[in-house]
Amino acid sequence: MSVNESEARLANLSRQTFLSMWSYQNPYYSEGKELCDVLIVFGDDVIIISDKVIKYSEDNTPDIAWKRWYGKAVSASVKQLRGALKTIKTSPEAVHLDARVSSPFPLRFPDVTRARYHLIAVAHGIEATRTRHLKTSSFGLDSSLTNSVTLFTVGVHFPEFVHVVSRTALDALFECFDTTADFVMYLTAKEAFLTKNHVLFTGEEDLIGVYMRGRRPGGSSPLCELIEADEKGVRIVDADVWSSLRKDLNFMQRKAKLAPSYLIDEVIEHHASEYMRGRMVSGQDKALAYHATALQVLASESRMARMLMGMAVVDVLIENPKTYWSVVVESSEQPGVHFLWLVYPVVNERVSDDDLETAVGHELKTYIYVAMSKFPNAQTVFGIAIPNAESARTSRAFQIAVRNVWTDEMQKEAELLGLTRGIFSHVETTTRVAVHAI
């Protein structure tokens, strides 16, 4: 795989997982000087990725060949990551999207006092050699290592914690954790586990396999409970966990079961695409950071939470196309957050997009107002309006309401509006299904 192919592949995987509003390829910190290969800024989480493709030469002895490859693939990535981290912490205004540093990074970096930084070094080029010698394409890990003395094995402390991953492990990461919430949850669990324990594995994909087998609502069972320590206190991950997991029927069917969740991704990406193309009827004058902050509430949901939400939305998408339909889904992961999905009816072709979005936006505001009165534990209501499945229109609308001021008068007014319009008249609870692991 060439450098360009590897970078393009990484960028595509990153956009699918972190979505385009929060994932940026090849940012720069000075004219012609690249910061990293991929940068993700999502709330308080900053993910910095460096990708190196270095050919492993077998013309030398294994020790010499390994040290040279390690220096160019691992050490060079770590150096770039540490430099990027320093720039982001001390001079975030220096980060730009182009080599001429004329396009400032569009999102706000979190304050360093609350930011969570995740450094990922992707090292390619050793797969064929590793497979011939040890029948696995990944390199191993020893959490106690601080140098390259052990053949085909890396550590994690440089001194910052760095996730050094092979191409196989990278594929497993993006296959299993394709939302920011799931991805960060795994990285955080892994860092805590490897920092507090002496851990050995022949490939990170096996650690991912252990984590996936231990899935439960809100993440996974603690890794220290899933991987026991031997008599010397070392925790060794079995070498065949990933290959075994991939043969598991439930895992093989996982993507199909999660299909409804990708409706949520599509809605977010549609909004991003409309903004990038300058085609929004309202909100086009706002900065990208404004839209990213707003949509972050929806994008913060995990894959499982999105699936449950998607299932509820699909049910009303196919209802009678002559009228409005709605469903309110209470987040199982963000306390006090409710998502109100409003499906608008098929409208006459003569109705312009501007008029349609104005009417739908007004209706969405009304539904949100009534929802605030109906569900008193809703501190934030995120409203999304989308077309009926039979509609050829593509207009979407988003609104957020926060219960920072809610008077008795507003409550009575909203209740009356709900009764008059029949909004949520037969609804007593929100849709909220317990999250389970797939």
Backbone angles phi, psi at 399, to 5 degrees: -145, 145
Residue range 308-341, pLDDT digits in tens: 999 999 999 999 999 999 999 999 899 999 999 9
β 28-30/33-34 pair status: antiparallel
pLDDT of residue 430: 56
Residue range 98-154, pLDDT digits in tens: 999 999 999 999 999 999 999 999 999 988 887 786 677 789 999 999 888 899 999
Residue 338: which of 385, 376, 310, 303 has the closest Cα? 376
Residue 253's CB is within 10 A of a number of other CB atoms, namely 11
**Sequence letter at residue 428:** E
pLDDT of residue 156: 96
pLDDT of residue 438: 45
Strand, coil or helix: 403: coil
Per-residue pLDDT of the chain (438 residues; tens, 9 = 90+): 565 788 889 999 999 999 999 999 999 999 999 999 999 999 999 999 999 999 998 888 989 999 999 999 999 999 999 999 999 999 999 999 999 999 999 999 999 999 999 999 999 998 888 778 667 778 999 999 988 889 999 999 999 999 999 999 999 999 999 999 999 999 999 999 999 999 999 999 999 999 999 988 767 889 999 999 999 999 999 999 999 999 999 999 999 999 999 999 999 999 999 888 888 877 888 999 999 999 999 999 999 999 999 999 999 999 999 999 999 999 989 999 999 999 999 999 999 988 999 999 999 999 999 999 999 999 999 999 999 999 999 889 999 999 999 999 999 999 999 999 999 877 655 554 333 344
pLDDT of residue 23: 97
pLDDT of residue 1: 59
- Are the CB atoms for 310 and 261 separated by under 8 Å? yes
Q: How long is the chain?
A: 438
Alpha-carbon dihedral 62, 64, 65, 68, rounded to 10 degrees? 150
In sequence order, the 6+-apart residues with CB closer than 8 A to the CB of 407 are: none
Cα–Cα dist 275/294, whole Å: 13
